[in-house]
Amino acid sequence: MKRAPAVVSTSVILMGIWLSLTLSTDIQEIVLGVVVSVIAAIATNGALTGNLFRLLKPRKFIAAISYIFYFLGQMIKANIDVLFRVFRPVIPLNPGIVKVNLNLKSERAKVIVANSITLTPGTITIDIAGDHIFVHWIFLPDGDVHAETQSMVDGFAGRLEKIFE
């Protein structure tokens, strides 16, 4: 039962979703929720969340919380950027697709990096192939675009490495 922690994490998350959808303390609803969550978690082998108990170590917990705040800050910056860009008489554009390295072992971490890049200022992820990630810039940075993109990707990847190592 190597996957037991992952299955338990998934059923706890599913149960949380169920409770916030029903908002009911009726015993029938809760029992049905528990049964369905456990069946769904066993059927998917805990693939939805993976083992969340690893996050309970203080160092990783702090890393996860700080990642969320870093991400939210970047997302607000991205939206202000879009807001000022679309209302200009001539939209400033200098687009390009840049390939950089992404040295993360965990597939889950790669997905999180790709999604985070899509929601941060001026960049969206187009494709991931092996250890490489393709990033589309709406306005290419000055100087060496590959170095600039690499430092932007490493900003996320370095923070995620502390959580997923």
Partner 1 sequence: MSFTFILAHVLTGLGALFLFASGVGVFRMPDVFNKMHAGTKATTLGSILFLSGLGLFEPSWLPKLLLVAVFIVLTNPVSSHALARAAHNDASEKPDNLVIDDLEESKGEEQ
Residues that bind partner 1 (CB under 8 A): 17, 19-21, 23, 75-76, 78-79, 81-83, 85-87, 91, 93-99, 114-116, 118-119, 122, 124-127, 129, 132, 134, 136, 138, 140, 145
For partner 1, the closer CB: 4 or 95 = 95
For partner 1, the closer CB: 4 or 93 = 93
Q: List C-alpha distances in Å: 95 to 50, 120, 122, 141.
A: 37, 16, 10, 10
For partner 1, the closer CB: 4 or 75 = 75
Residues 6+ apart with CB under 8 A from 148: 141, 142
Q: How far is the CB of 27 from partner 1 (least distance, A)?
A: 20
Q: How far is the CB of 34 from partner 1 (least distance, A)?
A: 18
Q: How far is the CB of 13 from partner 1 (least distance, A)?
A: 11
Q: What is d(CA 16, CA 20) in angstroms, rounded to the nearest whole number?
A: 6
Mark 66-83 as b/e (b = at least 16 C-beta within 10 Å).
ebeeebeebeeebeeeee
Q: How far is the CB of 133 from partner 1 (least distance, A)?
A: 10
Contact between 151 and 135 (Cβ < 8 Å): no
For partner 1, the closer CB: 4 or 47 = 47
